[in-house]
Every structure is written in structure tokens, then in C-alpha cells.
């Protein structure tokens, strides 16, 4: 035991004497470990964020097309629908004996780059996320007027809106849009609490508000010479003609596949009904190639860092030949020299992974608000998982393996080679 302690002390002192080189080696290993863990953390947290986006909804119904496409535009507000659903069809399916509740969704407009969602007040009661968490209002109340709007947390924060502020909706999606509905402005009636989902980046208005905005429009363009003001629009029949999609909750899960088949074979118009969890898995499978590519890149970075460590130790052996010879001359055995260099490798590996873990947590802490704002992903600060610890252990073992070659060379050095001058 005393020999092991002595070897460990010698390894620490040797590294301290070469602290600049050792520090750079630790930094290289730390960056490798941080990237390896970071890729895994982003993959894991992104998957969880996707899964937490919607819960408690049994089916999502939209025009026939791809399941992932329907999920993207109805839940994540990405892309557009291939077609709409007639209001008559929606009412008929909503009245089905197996249906407990429905929430209609109407998309197509935007406000300063954020999507505008037309719905009803059932949306705030039925939409669940992160298991079974309901939407809550941080301020105000849901819309009870045609031109009321409820803002997601990010919309209100980034655009600086408060209750009572007017907002003008743009026809079309994107920053530019097509044309402003400035003749019928909305008023902020409520602001939702943050959810870490696309809800934070959505402007919610009533279905009647969507219809009122488009009273003077036909075929996606304003009718020339026709202009109806907001007060006149309030008095008109604002029952929707079409919607984009709707969420469905069932009385019994046993009716899930039966109702899904009924909707898929609906004769009045081509529809599809998707199960959110299944569509999310399909979406994640599509992203599997990029996920594996990131893993390969992170492993290559880790290997590069460890090879650098091996190269540094190998390069230092030539200048340390006298050190090894002195150790041998005072009684150190070849096994002690081998253990010395292996101890240095282990110390560098442990210091690297510890530094990398701290670096990762610092980066997560700094990047959390940016990632949440740009991508809607929540990156929690959590202790390392079992998989994280296994990855860190693998890095330390790889550091030992990388240090084995220099250690073996030092083991093979003879006392005569160390003391004799080089020609």
C-alpha cells in the first residue's frame, strides 16, 4: 500500500512540474467529455421535450396526408396543412358517441413571425403537456370577445406586450406574411404561464376572430372595394366554415382504434386521425440519422483528445529518460515506473472528466434561455444519469488505455539506456 501511495504522490508531483502541458491535456479531455455528454443530454432532453409537448389527447384529426406533417403543423406550428376540414364534418365527428371532448384548431395567420391559432376556450381546459399539466394564465383571462387574444409566454416577453395592448395579425405565416389585418386589431386579454412547448410561441384567438378577420377576404385575398369594420363584423354570423385540425379526447381508450378507422374511412372528405405518441415516435425515428451522426462526431472528438494525451506523454518520455533512470537507480522497479505513468494517465483522465462535467453544467446554465427561446426546448440542470456515469467511466478507461503504450515504453527502458548519453 505504501508503494502505491508513493507512486501516486510521485505522479501528482510530476504532473505539477509539467502543469502547463498537463493542463492543456486535461482541457482537451474535458472538452471531449463535455461534448460526449452534451450530445447525449441534448438528445435525451430534446426527446423528452418532444414527448412533453402534448399529453392527454387521444387523437389528432386533420386532412389526409402524412402523420408527421399533421403532428408538426397542429402541435409544433411547423408547416401548413394540405387542406382544411369543413365545419359540418367537425361537428358530426365531435358528436360521435365515443368522443368526450374536442378542441378545434385553425391556422394560417401570424403575428411578427409567431403563428396565430384560432380555437375556443376548451383549448385552455383540455390541452395538457408534460404528463398531465394544464395551461395556466400568468395574467388576464381567456378570450370572451371576438377580438381578444391570449399570448404565449415567449410572445409576450419578446415583443413586450401587456394586458390591453393592441396587436395586428398578418395574413400568412412567417416574418413577412402577406398583408396585415390592420382594420381589425385584437386586444391582449391574457398571457399564459411558460410551458417550454410551442404554446409559448403562439398567439391564441377565437375561431370567431379568425372568421371576422377574413369577412372581406375570398380565396386568400381581400375582396376589392369591400371593407367591414370591427364593430360591424361582431354583429355578423361568425360560425367557422372550415378549420385546420382538431384534438379529440375519448370516453374510453377501447374505442381508440375503432374511431381512428371510422375517421380514416370517412366518405364526406378525406381525413386522417393520428395517435400523438405514435406520430412522435415516427418523428423521432426520422431524426435518428442526425442523432447517430452527432454521436459518431462526439466519439471521434473524444478519441482525438485521448490520442493527444498519449502523444503528449510519449513526447515527454524522451526528456524524462533521466528521471526514469534516477528512479531505477534508487530502487524503483520497472513495474513502479509502469505504475507511475499509468497513474499520471488515470489522473489526467479523472481530472478531464470532472472538468468536462463542470464545463457541461456551466454551458447548460448559460444556454438554457437561448435554447428555450429559439427551439422551445427545456434543458434541466440534473445530476448525471447512469448512462452519463458509464460514458465518463469509459473516457477514464480509454485514458488508461491511451497511457498504456507510453507506460510500456517506460517499463522497457533500462537503467543503462537512461544513464548513457545519446550519440
Q: What is the tens place of the pLDDT at every residue in 20-62? A: 877 888 888 888 888 888 888 877 777 777 778 888 999 999 9
Q: 334 vs 260, 316, 327, CA distance in Å?
A: 73, 18, 9
| Average pLDDT estimate for 66-89 | 91
* Whole-number pLDDT of residue 110: 92
* Whole-number pLDDT of residue 352: 87
* Whole-number pLDDT of residue 314: 67
Is the same domain home to 28 and 81? no
> Which span out of 168-172, 314-318, 402-406 was modeled with the highest average pLDDT?
168-172
Is the same domain home to 229 and 304? no
Is the same domain home to 74 and 138? yes
Q: Which residue has the higher pLDDT, 189 or 315?
A: 189
pLDDT in tens, 253-267: 899 999 999 999 999
Query: How many residues appear in the chain?
Result: 423
* Whole-number pLDDT of residue 276: 92
Query: What pTM does this model have?
Result: 0.73
Lowest mean per-residue pLDDT among 161-175, 304-318, 354-368? 304-318
335-359 burial, b if ≥16 CB within 10 A, otherwise e?
A: ebbbbbbbbbbbbbbbbbbbbbbeb
State the chain's mean pLDDT as an integer. 83
Is the same domain home to 89 and 152? yes
Report how far residue 287's alpha carbon sits from residue 296's, in angstroms, rounded to the nearest whole number.
Answer: 15
Lowest mean per-residue pLDDT among 169-178, 197-206, 221-230? 169-178
* Whole-number pLDDT of residue 422: 47
pLDDT reading at 71 higher than 90: yes
| Average pLDDT estimate for 138-143 | 94
Q: Which three cell numbers stand for residue 195?
A: 410551458
* Whole-number pLDDT of residue 7: 59
Is the same domain home to 268 and 295? no
The answer to whether residue 279 is domain-embedded is no
Is the same domain home to 244 and 346? no
* Whole-number pLDDT of residue 328: 62
pLDDT in tens, 279-307: 988 888 777 777 777 778 777 877 777 77
Is the same domain home to 163 and 238? yes
Q: Which residue has the higher pLDDT, 132 or 167?
A: 167
Is the same domain home to 174 and 218? yes
pLDDT in tens, 196-218: 889 999 999 999 999 999 888 77
The answer to whether residue 202 is domain-embedded is yes
pLDDT reading at 178 higher than 80: no
Which of 274, 309, 328 is where one domain is finished?
274
* Contact indicator for 98, 252 with CB cutoff of 8 Å: yes
* Contact indicator for 169, 214 with CB cutoff of 8 Å: no
pLDDT in tens, 146-162: 999 999 999 999 999 99
Which of 229, 246, 274 is where one domain is finished?
274
* Whole-number pLDDT of residue 249: 96
The answer to whether residue 283 is domain-embedded is no
Is the same domain home to 21 and 78? no
Q: Which residue has the higher pLDDT, 394 or 125?
A: 125
Report how far residue 85's alpha carbon sits from residue 70's, in angstroms, rounded to the nearest whole number.
Answer: 13
Beta strands in 127-284 (DSSP E): 128-129, 133-134, 137-140, 148-151, 166-167, 170-171, 179-180, 186-192, 202-206, 217-218, 221-222, 242-243, 245-250, 271-274
Which of 274, 307, 338 is where one domain is finished?
274
pLDDT reading at 417 higher than 60: no
Grouping H, G, I as helix, E, B as strand and the rest as coil, residue 19 is helix
Is the same domain home to 407 and 337? yes
Report how far residue 144's alpha carbon sits from residue 326's, in angstroms, rounded to the nearest whole number.
Answer: 87
The answer to whether residue 316 is domain-embedded is yes
The answer to whether residue 152 is domain-embedded is yes
* Contact indicator for 199, 155 with CB cutoff of 8 Å: no
The answer to whether residue 280 is domain-embedded is no
Q: Which residue has the higher pLDDT, 401 or 169?
A: 169
The answer to whether residue 354 is domain-embedded is yes
Q: 64 vs 7, 172, 243, 315, CA distance in Å?
A: 71, 22, 14, 65
Instruction: Find all residues with CB under 8 Å of 158, minimum gap 6, and list them.
Output: 373
pLDDT reading at 418 higher than 50: no
Note down the domain range covering 42: 2-50+289-419
Count how many domains the chain has: 2
pLDDT reading at 414 higher than 80: no
pLDDT reading at 15 higher than 60: yes
Is the same domain home to 45 and 75? no
Report how far residue 130's alpha carbon sits from residue 197's, in angstroms, rounded to the nearest whole number.
Answer: 9
* Whole-number pLDDT of residue 228: 80
The answer to whether residue 281 is domain-embedded is no
pLDDT in tens, 328-384: 666 666 666 677 777 878 888 888 889 988 998 888 888 777 766 555 566 677 788
| Average pLDDT estimate for 162-186 | 82
| Average pLDDT estimate for 55-76 | 93
Q: Which three cell numbers stand for residue 374?
A: 429559439
pLDDT band at 226 (very low <50, low <70, confident <90, very high): confident
Is the same domain home to 316 and 370? yes
Report how far residue 285's alpha carbon sits from residue 247's, in angstroms, rounded to the nearest whole number.
Answer: 23
Amino acid at each position: 500500500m505504501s508503494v502505491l501511495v508513493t507512486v501516486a504522490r510521485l505522479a501528482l508531483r510530476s504532473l505539477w512540474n509539467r502543469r502547463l502541458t498537463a493542463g492543456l491535456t486535461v482541457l482537451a479531455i474535458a472538452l471531449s467529455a463535455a461534448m460526449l455528454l452534451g450530445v447525449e443530454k441534448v438528445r435525451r432532453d430534446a426527446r423528452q421535450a418532444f414527448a412533453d409537448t402534448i399529453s392527454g389527447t387521444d387523437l389528432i384529426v386533420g386532412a389526409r396526408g402524412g402523420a408527421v406533417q399533421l403532428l408538426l403543423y397542429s402541435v409544433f406550428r411547423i408547416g401548413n396543412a394540405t387542406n382544411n376540414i369543413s365545419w359540418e364534418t367537425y361537428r358530426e365527428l365531435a358528436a360521435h358517441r365515443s368522443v368526450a371532448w374536442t378542441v378545434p384548431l385553425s391556422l394560417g395567420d401570424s403575428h411578427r413571425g409567431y403563428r396565430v391559432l384560432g380555437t375556443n376556450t376548451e383549448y385552455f381546459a383540455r390541452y395538457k403537456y408534460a404528463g398531465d399539466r394544464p395551461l395556466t394564465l400568468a395574467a388576464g383571462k381567456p378570450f370572451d370577445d371576438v377580438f381578444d387574444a391570449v399570448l404565449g409566454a415567449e410572445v409576450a416577453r419578446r415583443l413586450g406586450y401587456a394586458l390591453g395592448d393592441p396587436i395586428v395579425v398578418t395574413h400568412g405565416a412567417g416574418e413577412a406574411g402577406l398583408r396585415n389585418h390592420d382594420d381589425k386589431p385584437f386586444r391582449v386579454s391574457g398571457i399564459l404561464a411558460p410551458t417550454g412547448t410551442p404554446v409559448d410561441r403562439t398567439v391564441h384567438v377565437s375561431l370567431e376572430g379568425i372568421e371576422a378577420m377574413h369577412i372581406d377576404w375570398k380565396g386568400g385575398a381581400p375582396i376589392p372595394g369591400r371593407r367591414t369594420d370591427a364593430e360591424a363584423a361582431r354583429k355578423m354570423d361568425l360560425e367557422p366554415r372550415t378549420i385546420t385540425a382538431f384534438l379529440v379526447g375519448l370516453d374510453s381508450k377501447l374505442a381508440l382504434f375503432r374511431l381512428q378507422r371510422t375517421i380514416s374511412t370517412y366518405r364526406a372528405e378525406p381525413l386522417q386521425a393520428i395517435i400523438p405518441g405514435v406520430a412522435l415516435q415516427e418523428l423521432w425515428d426520422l431524426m435518428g440519422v442526425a442523432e447517430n451522426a452527432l454521436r459518431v462526431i462526439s466519439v471521434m472528438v473524444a478519441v482525438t483528445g485521448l490520442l493527444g494525451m498519449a502523444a503528449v506523454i510519449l513526447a515527454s518520455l524522451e526528456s524524462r529518460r533521466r528521471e526514469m533512470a534516477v528512479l531505477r537507480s534508487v530502487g524503483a522497479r520497472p513495474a513502479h515506473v509502469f505504475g507511475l505513468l499509468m497513474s499520471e494517465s488515470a489522473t489526467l483522465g479523472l481530472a478531464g472528466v470532472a472538468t468536462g462535467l463542470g464545463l457541461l453544467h456551466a454551458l447548460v446554465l448559460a444556454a438554457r434561455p437561448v435554447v428555450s427561446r429559439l427551439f422551445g426546448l427545456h434543458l434541466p440542470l440534473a445530476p448525471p444519469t447512469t448512462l452519463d456515469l458509464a460514458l465518463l467511466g469509459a473516457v477514464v478507461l480509454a485514458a488508461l488505455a491511451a497511457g498504456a503504450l507510453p507506460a510500456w515504453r517506460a517499463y522497457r527502458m533500462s537503467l543503462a539506456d537512461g544513464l548513457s548519453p545519446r550519440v
